[in-house]
Structure 1
């Protein structure tokens, strides 16, 4: 007998730069994305407690009142990706690190490109701050929401830190 998994819940939130798509299972935030992920077959649920808490904390973040998120999150990814994503959570609000610094921090200094790939696949943007990772020369490089969004997020954090 197979157990049918409940569909994910989803909610769309207006951010200062456009929509964010939030996803959660019964007990964890599983995604924040810049585009809707149709393959997840998620059902809209404005009363889902994890999504409500996420909306509240994102609102506080965007208003400059929150610097750290306190949400139960669940990642799906390789061990290496999860190691990178955990490291991203350690980058302080209003600060940046290079891909090389992240690779050094996870004790894999030659994995700079792999860190970039894992950063690109981060399923929970903003809460897991992949926007805080920049190129070795200090330039903004690649961001799933586009470079203007990355720049907005970094300037927002610098204004409120």
Structure 2
């Protein structure tokens, strides 16, 4: 047994709660290690002094005086800051959890702001605020395909299936 093992088993050894083979290992270590033997003797000394100590009995009127003092205190409700600070003191993982929740909400807000399914068609340069409605050609007119190419290259437009359904209705 090593010195750090004695630290773990010292109180159980003094209380006689170790298994026989562990108690023998502790005794063998104590015979060869004076530092651990001295430390265990200190534990034993403190334990024996505590066993001889009689607890102090409060005066008979202690409970009545305490109750009067408690009732004399004005009742105050804890504000929201005290309630939150109590939660953070009791739960050390509260700060990282709160930071993660805030980060998640911010990310969700950014994604929600970037994705707008009701966004209008992109404006072509020089259209002066008018919306360009694309036309889908039957493939015979190559110029029409090139004219519609900027609309088809717009990735946001392609990912918006509602807008693509509008294309189908205009061709029919």
TM range (shorter): under 0.3
TM-score normalised to structure 2 length: 0.19
Structure with larger RCO (C-alpha < 8 A, sep 6+):
1
Choose 1 or 2 for highest CA Rg.
2
- Name the structure with the higher strand share: 1
TM-score normalised to structure 1 length: 0.20
